Every structure is written in structure tokens, then in C-alpha cells.
Amino acid sequence: MQILPTRKIEPLALGAILVRKDKKIGSHPFYKQLSKEDAVLLGRFLAKTSFDKESAHTVFLPSGNRLLLLGVGEKQKFDLRKSILAMRKIVAAAKKDGVKIIEVAAADFTTRGLNDLNAVAETVATQFELANYEHVTYKTAPPDGWNFVETAYVYAERNVGKALERGRIIGVETNAARELSNTPGGEMTPAMLAKAAEAAGKESGVKVAVLDEKEMRKLGMGGVLGVGRGSDEPPRFIVMEYRGAAAKTAPVVLVGKGITFDSGGLNIKPDDHIYEMHMDMSGGAAVIHAIAALARLKVKKNVIGLIPAAENMPSGSSYHPGDVLKTMSGKTIEVMNTDAEGRVVLADGLEYAKKYKPRLVIDVATLTGASMHALGRRASAILATDRKVENRLREAGEKTLDRVWPLPLWEEYEDEVKGTFGDWSNTGKERYGGAITGAVFLWQFIKPWPWVHIDIAPRMTAVEGEHLAKGAAGAPVNLLVHFLERF
């Protein structure tokens, strides 16, 4: 969608006004610009309608203009989360009614933690884009076309054009990651994911290299090759290099899990768990488009993206439970369960990251169902070697609603993943604490470098009530962009 700054009421747009419980809108810029007749009618409507609770009303004014009044409850309780949800609700309401042009006042969305007009504008633009997205690629369009909002005007006393464009880029890139995740597994193969990375790199000016099986064999990437063995679709290893800072500046390396379909392999998943496993490359998709966003925003940092991409399938050539795989690091992995494949491919990704002498390594993966047992579906799990970095990520998560919550990364958990016939076992000995043992396994392949693991399984898909379309949620593109810009 187009997102444009404005300082006057746009006559063709559906203007949205956030109404608090006290219903005081006399100083709202839209109200102030209404004709006398319109203002009288709006006053009457406000008088007889309660705005104590969250609600939405469309009011038709005598001039023919319409207003969307969004009840947001008590002023004191209007926080950053409610503000972001209100932004999304406006787009959702417009889509529902087939409205193509909307208008909001940036100042409506200010809250504690979001009070600078530029920051508000950036957030509005991102959230408008996120709320406008829907995966319709494989559906026949209705006769009148899809109900996407085409233009959003953002009224502000200051020039917020740049902030709007920044926010829009973050939203568009997040949606691009969602689109990759939503693409069915039959189509989204490792080669296809590599093509998507190349296309994103070309558009944003990021160098992309793709290693094929032969090159991976030369490097000794037994983890990725092992997981990919059962599939007719050969694995790939994607390397993206964005250099926005001086060449000698140490980069941050992002490593994304790129399992294009996770059937579980020979330890095949039961049918209710196999559904949605085409989204098991969501970490990889997030890395691709976080880097594209950073490049388009011209962030002055060096950021590398690595995506080990493979399909985990059962067949006569699959890796077996009990196999011992030799990774690029030289360390071996005893495969106790072929469904714990993410950590196996990431072991090679993390080893490759060390080549860059990184400032920080962040891996992003739909790694465990256990993280969902621990956290539900509102926050990704983070496990970090550095408390300061962990806190910075948590703050970025609060600002973007792309939230993360910490779990412990302690050495005492290492006993859980010590192998019997290999160095490390890809499952814990106990069935408890699976999100932690998954992380502690990965740690063995990145020590002693500073590292954060983000298990995005909890936020792989959108939750009802978030006002986002069903399917992939695009976590943690927004989080990574906000964090890396300031890190």
C-alpha cells in the first residue's frame, strides 16, 4: 500500500479516530476540520454511545464523509500493545468493508514507550502493512478483486514522511518473509528458498551466494547433508552478505533454520503435527528479509545471513535414528530422533558463522514444540550468552510487539545432550525442558562466541485476536531490524 504523510483531511479517505472512555475529541485534527453540520452530528453520536470498552463504529456524516470511531477504553490503560492493535484493527475494519483509502492522525497512537512522532509514524506504517497482508496467491480473486487497502494517509504536525517510508519497508519485508513461509512445501524447496534469497538480495543490493551439495560436501557439512538425504530435493546453503559499515568492522551473523518441509523424517510426525510444517523455514525467511530490510534502510552495519536449507523426509535414503553425522566443526552428532533436525542443520550454520569473526551470532529457528509448551504463543524464546544483549532484544520486542522471553542457558543442562556413540545427542535424555536442551545442543557448535538463540516456534503463526491474517506471522523480522539498527 501507499503510505503518505498529510496535513489536511483527505476527502476520499475513511478517517479513523481513536476515542478514549472520556470521549474528548474536541482537539482532534480531524474533528477540527469538520464542517459545522458534520461536527454536530458527530457530537450527537458521541453523546449517545459508550466508549468504555473497546469497540468500533462507522459514522456517516451529512457531507457524505465517513469516520471510523475506534473505542480504546481508559486512557491510563492505553499502552503500546493496545496502540499497535488499534493500528491493525483500523486496517482490518477497512478491509472488511472494502475501503481502499484510510486516514489516521499519528498523535492518536502515542503512549508511554511510543511518544516521538517519528517513532509513532514508523510503527503505524509497519503495522498497517502487516495488517493489510493476506496469503491469497493460491486463491481465485473475487469478481471485484481483493479487499486490500491501497492508500493510507498519516496526518502529523511534523514531516514524518521519512519515518513512514522506513516503517513501510519493515512491513513489506516482514510480509515477504510471511509469503515465503506460507508457500506450500511442495513448491518451497531448498532450491526455491535459495532463489527467493537471490531475488531479495538483488532487489536490496545484498550479495548472495548459494552452496550446492558438492560444495557443502567439500566443507564437510554432514549435518545439512544428513538431514537432506531422504529428500528428492537437494539441500542448499545460502549466504547473504550485507556490508553497510567499513570492511574491517566485525559483523553480526544471523543463522536461520531453513527446513522447507519437516515431516519428521523416519521418526515421522503424527498427522496433527505435520500440518503447517511447510513453515519450518520461517527462521530462514526471517533472516533473508531482515537483511533485505536493513539494506533498504541503509543501516550502517555489517550483517551476514546464513541459511542451511533442507527438506526432512522419510525414504530409503533418509538418515536413520542411530546414525552418527560428522559436522563441519569435526564434532559428531548422534541422531536419536530424525525429527530434531533443525539443530542438526544449524550446527553447520553456526560453525560457518565463525569464519566471519562475528561480534554476535543470532540463530532464528522454529526449533521446538517445547518452547510453545513453555511460553504459549505470545513470545518467542530467547537464550543468550550475554544478559545485556538479551535485555536489548527484550526491549526491541516490547516496542515492536514482536516479543521474546528468556529461558536459562546454563552449563548444567549439557549432561542432557552428551552422546553415547557420538559427541552430542540431538535430543535430551529427559522429556522435560526441550526448548533449553535444544539451545544447549546448539551452544556446543558456537562456543565461545557471543550468541543468542531465538526459538520462534511459539510465534510461527498469527494468533486469533492479533488482527493479522491466518498463517505465518513473520517473526522476528521487525525485532531483528529494530535490535540491529541500534546494536
- The size of the interface with ligand BES (CB under 6 A), counted in residues, is 15
Region of 146 please: left (phi>0), alpha (psi -120 to 50) or beta. Answer: beta
Instruction: Name the binder of 368 from Zn ion, ligand BES, none, CB < 5-8 A by kind.
Output: ligand BES
DSSP-based three-state secondary structure for 73: strand
β-strand pairing of 14-20 with 55-60: unpaired
Task: List the Cα angle 401/482/172 in 5-degree steps.
Answer: 80
Instruction: Please identify, using beta-carbon distances, which residue of 191 and 274 lies nearer to ligand BES.
Output: 274
Taking CB under 6 A as the rule, does residue 339 contact ligand BES?
yes
DSSP-based three-state secondary structure for 186: coil
Instruction: Name the binder of 370 from ligand BES, Zn ion, none, CB < 5-8 A by kind.
Output: ligand BES
Instruction: Please identify, using beta-carbon distances, which residue of 201 and 283 lies nearer to Zn ion.
Output: 283
Please state the closest distance from residue 19 (CB atom) to ligand BES, in A: 39
Please select the residue that binds ligand BES; options are 366, 380, 425, 478, rule is CB under 6 A: 366
277: DSSP letter: G
Please state the closest distance from residue 337 (CB atom) to Zn ion, in A: 8
Taking CB under 5 A as the rule, does residue 342 contact Zn ion?
yes
Instruction: Please identify, using beta-carbon distances, which residue of 395 and 423 lies nearer to ligand BES.
Output: 423
Question: What is the Cα–Cα distance from 333 to 230, expressed in whole angstroms?
Answer: 17
Q: Which of the residues 166, 257, 331, 343 is marked catalytic?
A: 343
Taking CB under 6 A as the rule, does residue 427 contact ligand BES?
yes
Question: What is the Cα–Cα distance from 97 to 109, expressed in whole angstroms?
Answer: 23
Instruction: Please identify, using beta-carbon distances, which residue of 281 and 306 lies nearer to Zn ion.
Output: 281
Question: What is the Cα–Cα distance from 239 to 306, expressed in whole angstroms?
Answer: 5
Please select the residue that binds Zn ion; options are 38, 323, 339, 402, rule is CB under 5 A: 339
Enumerate residues 291-320 that contact Zn ion by CB under 5 A: none
Please select the residue that binds ligand BES; options are 92, 225, 303, 370, rule is CB under 6 A: 370
CB 339 within 8 A of CB 427: no
DSSP calls for 111-167: BTTB-SHHHHHHHHHHHHHHHH----TTSPPPTT------EEEEE-SS--HHHHHHH
Instruction: Name the binder of 337 from Zn ion, ligand BES, none, CB < 5-8 A by kind.
Output: ligand BES
Active site residue 301: no
Please select the residue that binds ligand BES; options are 369, 406, 419, 450, rule is CB under 6 A: 369
Find the part of the chain contacting Zn ion (CB under 5 A) among 196-204, 257-265, 299-307, 382-390: 257-265
234: DSSP letter: -
- Within 10 angstroms of residue 163's Cβ, the number of other Cβ atoms is 24
Active site residue 77: no
Taking CB under 5 A as the rule, does residue 280 contact Zn ion?
yes
Please state the closest distance from residue 224 (CB atom) to ligand BES, in A: 14
DSSP-based three-state secondary structure for 185: coil
Instruction: Please identify, using beta-carbon distances, which residue of 285 and 457 lies nearer to ligand BES.
Output: 457
CB 84 within 8 A of CB 91: no
Which positions ≥6 away from 8 have C-beta within 8 Å? 33, 155
Please select the residue that binds ligand BES; options are 234, 342, 397, 471, rule is CB under 6 A: 342
Taking CB under 6 A as the rule, does residue 284 contact ligand BES?
no
**Exposure on the CB side of residue 12, measured as CA atoms within 13 A:** 7
Helices (H), ranges, 297-433: 342-353, 370-375, 387-400
Distance from the first to the final alpha carbon of the chain: 30
Taking CB under 6 A as the rule, does residue 434 contact ligand BES?
yes
Taking CB under 6 A as the rule, does residue 473 contact ligand BES?
no
Question: What is the Cα–Cα distance from 243 to 206, expressed in whole angstroms?
Answer: 8
Instruction: Name the binder of 434 from Zn ion, ligand BES, none, CB < 5-8 A by kind.
Output: ligand BES
Q: Which of the residues 269, 301, 354, 392 is marked catalytic?
A: 269
**Binding residues for Zn ion (CB under 5 A):** 259, 262, 280, 339, 341-342
Query: Known catalytic residues?
Result: 269, 343
Contact residues: ligand BES, CB under 6 A: 262, 280, 337, 339-342, 366, 368-370, 427, 434, 457, 460
